[in-house]
Amino acid sequence: MNFKPVQILSIGMSIPETVITNDNLTKILDTSDEWISTRTGIKQRHIANGDENSTLFGINAAKDALDKAGISGEEIDAIVVATSNPYNIYPSTGCAIQEAIGAKNAIAFDITVACTGMIYALEIGRSFISTGKYKNVLLVATDTNSKFLDWTDRGSCVLFGDGASSILITEAKDGNDDIIALNVNADGTMGKHITMNLIGDNCPLVEPAKEGCKKITMNGKEVYKFVMHTMPESIMQCLADANMEPKDIDYLVPHQANLRIIEGLQNRLEFSDDKVIVNIDKYGNTSAASVPIALYEGIETGKIKTPSYAILCAFGAGMAWGSAVVRLRENLNKKS
Ligand code: ACO
């Protein structure tokens, strides 16, 4: 079979306007800007307000990517949405986005892989394109973890922010594949270290309704230890699959979960600061949306120059993790 190559056409993002600083959090938690900044690198996060929700941000991020690529909703063949806290379980966020952008020819569905969602979505999207059956695939990541955090647990609630991002991919007409290598992984035996239950109630004829648990729990130390050995392995494997070495890569665009984890990866790759994209200070951990938001801002601020090569990497609940070596084309996100 002749696999079709993939072109990354555009990247979009959408972030709530409301900003909560570390100092703001000291009003409800026994914490400090000093503790949060030094342990995580986070200074503030954007949080959904009122009726804002993950569908809304997902729609906005999807429209942004379409606009940047100059493509209409009708030209989209598939929409894959990575979300761990959809506004509705059904209809899926994918179907809501399909309606909102008029993508009447697209299939649409959601996947749940927490913070690694966009790397998994990229794997699904490129597989769709590689068969030749789908041409334009819209990948969206959207999470509003703020609605599911335990705001009395200072060990987890300070880490997250809300937001959405999108990547539009298409069949590469010139034969050059922009996804040079990609690996995704999962280890369910580590699942207990980050959880968000959606336990419903039984039929009232069986037993009375009980207090539901929709809160995120996290054993930060275990997650940290796990990530510090799996993520470098994943990146090195990806580089080997791409037949490249760290020196061939221009930028590391990592999941923005903790600055110390990012610095660990940076040291392993022996990258200087100008090669590592960091915006955790502004947004915190935006879960599945985090990597494309960093990529988007890296390009917009001029820190990322194109054409270039980047490593994208993410990890999170599952545990699941993954990396991709991608080509960033000259015109990426620059409307002609
Ligand atoms: N403010 C002040 N003190 C705090 C806070 C806070 N916000 N949070 C915890 N502490 C305290 C603890 O109570 C503890 O106090 P004690 O020593 O008196 O018991 C002390 O600080 C140390 O706590 P630790 O949990 O050991 O702190 P650690 O250095 O491990 O940092 C952190 C915690 C930041 C969560 C870190 O472990 C981490 O980043 N882990 C990785 C998390 C991650 O990357 N998750 C990504 C996936 S998320 C997803 O997929 C949904």
pLDDT at position 181 over 90 = yes
| Residue 114 CA, closest ligand 1 atom number | 50
pLDDT value at residue 205: 75
Q: 139-170: buried (b, 16+ CB within 10 Å) or exposed (e) per residue?
A: bbbbbbbbebbeeeebebbbbbbbbbbbbbbb
Give yes or no for a contact between 39 and 158, defined as CB atoms under 8 angstroms apart: no
Alpha helices in 8-152 (DSSP H): 22-25, 33-40, 54-69, 93-101, 117-130
In the chain, the percentage of residues whose pLDDT exceeds 70 is: 97
pLDDT value at residue 209: 72
pLDDT band for position 213 (cuts 50, 70, 90)? low
Give yes or no for a contact between 268 and 234, defined as CB atoms under 8 angstroms apart: no
pLDDT value at residue 109: 98
pLDDT at position 336 over 60 = no
Q: What DSSP assignment string belongs to 162-210?
A: -EEEEEEEEE-TTS--SEEEEEEEE-GGGGGGEEE----PPPTTTS---
Q: 24-58: buried (b, 16+ CB within 10 Å) or exposed (e) per residue?
A: ebeeebebebeebeeebbbbbbbbbeeebbbbbbb
pLDDT at position 312 over 60 = yes
pLDDT value at residue 1: 62
Q: What is the mean pLDDT of residues 78-103?
A: 97
Cross-sheet strand order for the sheet of 251-254: 179-186, 320-328, 308-316, 251-254
Q: Which protein residue's CA is at the shortest distance from atom 40 of ligand 1?
A: 220
DSSP classification of residue 258 = -
- Beta-carbon contacts of residue 192 (< 8 Å; ≥ 6 apart): 219
pLDDT value at residue 53: 96
Q: What is the mean pLDDT of residues 274-284?
A: 98
Cα–ligand 1 centroid distance for 252 (angstroms): 24
SS3 116: helix
Active site amino acids: 115, 255, 285
pLDDT value at residue 198: 81
pLDDT value at residue 147: 93
Mutate which of 20, 39, 185 for ligand 1? The one with the most ligand atoms within 8 Å of its CB, which is 39
Pocket of ligand 1 (CB under 6 A): 31, 35-36, 39-40, 114-115, 154-155, 158, 194, 220-221, 223-224, 257-258, 285, 287, 316-317
The angle subtended at Cα 115 by Cα 135 and Cα 225, nearest 5°, is: 135
Q: List the single range of 125-134, 191-200, 279-288 with lowest mean pLDDT.
A: 191-200
Count of C-beta atoms within a 10 Å radius of residue 245: 11
pLDDT value at residue 314: 97
Q: What is the mean pLDDT of residues 82-94?
A: 95
Q: What is the mean pLDDT of residues 30-44?
A: 97
pLDDT value at residue 212: 59
pLDDT at position 286 over 70 = yes
pLDDT value at residue 126: 97
Q: Which two tokens stand for residue 306?
A: 């194109």
- Beta-carbon contacts of residue 149 (< 8 Å; ≥ 6 apart): 156, 157, 160, 215, 216
Cα–ligand 1 centroid distance for 277 (angstroms): 23
Q: Which protein residue's CA is at the shortest distance from atom 2 of ligand 1?
A: 31
| Residue 31 CA, closest ligand 1 atom number | 1
- Could you tell me which of 120, 168, 169, 110 has the C-alpha nearest to residue 142? 110
pLDDT value at residue 287: 97
pLDDT value at residue 214: 67
pLDDT band for position 215 (cuts 50, 70, 90)? confident
Cα–ligand 1 centroid distance for 220 (angstroms): 5
Q: Which protein residue's CA is at the shortest distance from atom 24 of ligand 1?
A: 221
Give yes or no for a contact between 236 and 272, defined as CB atoms under 8 angstroms apart: no
pLDDT band for position 51 (cuts 50, 70, 90)? very high
Using one digit for the tens of pLDDT, what is the confidence trace for 132-154? 999 999 999 999 999 999 899 99
Q: List the single range of 193-207, 233-247, 270-284 with lowest mean pLDDT.
A: 193-207
Q: What is the mean pLDDT of residues 241-249?
A: 97
- Beta-carbon contacts of residue 228 (< 8 Å; ≥ 6 apart): 261, 264
Q: Which protein residue's CA is at the shortest distance from atom 36 of ligand 1?
A: 220
Cα–ligand 1 centroid distance for 160 (angstroms): 12
Q: Which protein residue's CA is at the shortest distance from atom 33 of ligand 1?
A: 220
Give yes or no for a contact between 148 and 286, defined as CB atoms under 8 angstroms apart: no
Q: 197-210: buried (b, 16+ CB within 10 Å) or exposed (e) per residue?
A: eeeeeeeeeeeeee
Cα–ligand 1 centroid distance for 38 (angstroms): 11
pLDDT value at residue 54: 97
Residues in a beta bridge with 78:
107, 137
Residue whose entry in the numeric block shows the structure tokens 């990547």: 167
Kindly list the distances between the CA atom of residue 120 and the CA atoms of 124, 172, 223, in Å, as whole numbers in the listed order: 6, 20, 19
Q: Which protein residue's CA is at the shortest distance from atom 48 of ligand 1?
A: 316
Q: What is the mean pLDDT of the chain?
A: 94
| Residue 154 CA, closest ligand 1 atom number | 7
pLDDT value at residue 99: 98
Cα–ligand 1 centroid distance for 157 (angstroms): 10
